[in-house]
Amino acid sequence: MHQVCHSPNQNHLLAALPDPEFAALSPHLELFPLPLGEMLYEPGRQLHHAYFPTSAVVSLHYVTESGAAVETAGVGNEGMVGVTLFMGGDPTPSSAVVQIAGHAYRLERRRLKQAFDGPGLFQRLLLRYTQALITQLAQTAACNRHHCVEQQLSRWLLLTLDRAPARELVMTQELVAGMLGVRRESVTAAAGKLQQLGYIRYRRGHITVLDREGLATRACECYHAVKTELARLLCDVQYRQEGLTGR
């Protein structure tokens, strides 16, 4: 049986820490499995840990009083879940749910705050990532308001694929519709068109991207805006693990 090797270096923020800072933080990092559908935090609840995904992808949702939810951003190995722990906004009206199963390294809130308040690079890294996350939130709002479902779906698939370790996503159309905040029939029509073009294959809750470049031609500018902002903010980061850069 193939054994998966886990390392904090698989998360870009942790991999960007200088050796002395990482050595001080690493004893407090706990490898944590994230099964599909796991709720990392709920609206109004206090957060106890920050999560640094390595292979999992987490979906951040805004939840209304009626219980309706829509995805506002996604987090994979490029970032962390729990920015409110150092931004002073805990608790929040949002939730975080595991979208693609995998692993993350979690850090207890007190340890996170200690490292954030320290003299090293950690604070600058987390603040820059937070700025990139704010860009993603704003871009998602603009995309959901002004772009068609086919463009939204293409953008969402590309961003998810950037964070996922495989080309195939285990995702029903109903779940995707919930993420985008649109009707299931709209996702069915958009996915059908992308499949006819040969860009994706959808069957029994599995979406496989066959032609990434083709899919990118159907996405709006929001995908590139999110990617460009993250790359710009972390362009001067030096990684301990050679070859680890944003995909």
Task: Give strand pairing partners of 94.
Answer: 62
Question: Positive or negative, the Cα torsion across 79, 80, 85, 91?
Answer: positive
Give the DSSP H/E element, type plus range, for residue 25.
helix 19-25
Phi, psi of 242 (to 5 degrees): -60, 135
* pLDDT score for 241: 54
Question: Positive or negative, the Cα torsion across 29, 14, 59, 170?
Answer: negative
Can you list the residues of the chain whose pLDDT is less than 70?
A: 1-4, 236-247
* pLDDT score for 146: 87
Helix 184-196 and helix 173-180, axial crossing angle in degrees, nearest 10: 110
* pLDDT score for 240: 60
Integer Cα distance of 188 and 15 in angstroms: 39
* pLDDT score for 105: 98
> What is the reported pTM?
0.88
- Gyration radius of the chain's alpha carbons: 18
* pLDDT score for 143: 85
Structure tokens at 197: 């073009």
* pLDDT score for 187: 87
* pLDDT score for 42: 87
Q: Please, what's the b/e burial string for 17-28 (b: 16 or more CB within 10 A of its CB; e: otherwise)?
A: beeebbebbeee
C-beta atoms surrounding 117 within 10 Å: 10
* pLDDT score for 173: 77
* pLDDT score for 166: 75
Give the DSSP H/E element, type plus range, for residue 206.
strand 206-209
* pLDDT score for 1: 46
